[in-house]
Amino acid sequence: QKEVEQNSGPLSVPEGAIASLNCTYSDRGSQSFFWYRQYSGKSPELIMFIYSNGDKEDGRFTAQLNKASQYVSLLIRDSQPSDSATYLCAAKTSYDKVIFGPGTSLSVIP
C-alpha cells in the first residue's frame, strides 16, 4: 500500500464549478498535510497546509482533514482554466518524513 494515494485523473470540471480533489494516507500518526499545485514543466508551489481536523479556507481553496478516516481533500471553488494543473497531496509522517502522493491532474474546461 502506498503511503499517500490520490486518483491520477484526469479530473475535468467546467469553468465556475467546484473541483474536489481527494487524498488518503496510511500512516495514522501523520500530523501535517499539504497541497501543492504543479504546472507542467514547473516545480510545485504550496497552496495550503492543514493539521487540525475540519476545514481550512484560503480564498477559493478549502482543505478538509478527517484524521479518523485518514482522508484529506482540497476543494477549489469557482474553478478557472488557470487552475488546470497537477495537484500533489503530501503528508508529514510519524517518522518525520514528508511523503508526496502521485498527484491528480485537473483540467478546467472553459
Is 39 among the residues that bind another protein (CB under 8 A)? no
Q: Which amino acid makes up residue 55?
A: D
Which CB sits closer to another protein, 6 or 73? 6
Q: Peptide bond preceding 10: is omega within 30 degrees of 0, i.e. cis? A: yes
- In angstroms, the CA 32 to CA 96 distance is 10
- Helix (H) or strand (E) run with residue 58 in it: strand 54-58
Determine how many CB atoms are found less than 10 A away from the CB of residue 47. Answer: 18
At closest approach, how far in Å is the CB of 80 from another protein?
A: 22
Residues 79-108 contacting another protein, CB under 8 A: 88, 90, 92, 97-98, 100-103
Interface segment toward another protein; rule CB under 8 A; list 9-17, 18-26, 44-52, 61-69? 44-52
Q: What are phi and psi of 83, to 5 degrees?
A: -80, -10
At closest approach, how far in Å is the CB of 110 from another protein?
A: 24
Grid cell, residue 15, equals: 469553468
Give the residue among 67, 66, 61 at the shortest CA–CA distance from 87.
61
At closest approach, how far in Å is the CB of 82 from another protein?
A: 18
Which CB sits closer to another protein, 19 or 50? 50
Positions in the binding site for another protein (CB under 8 A):
32, 34, 36, 41-46, 49, 51, 88, 90, 92, 97-98, 100-103
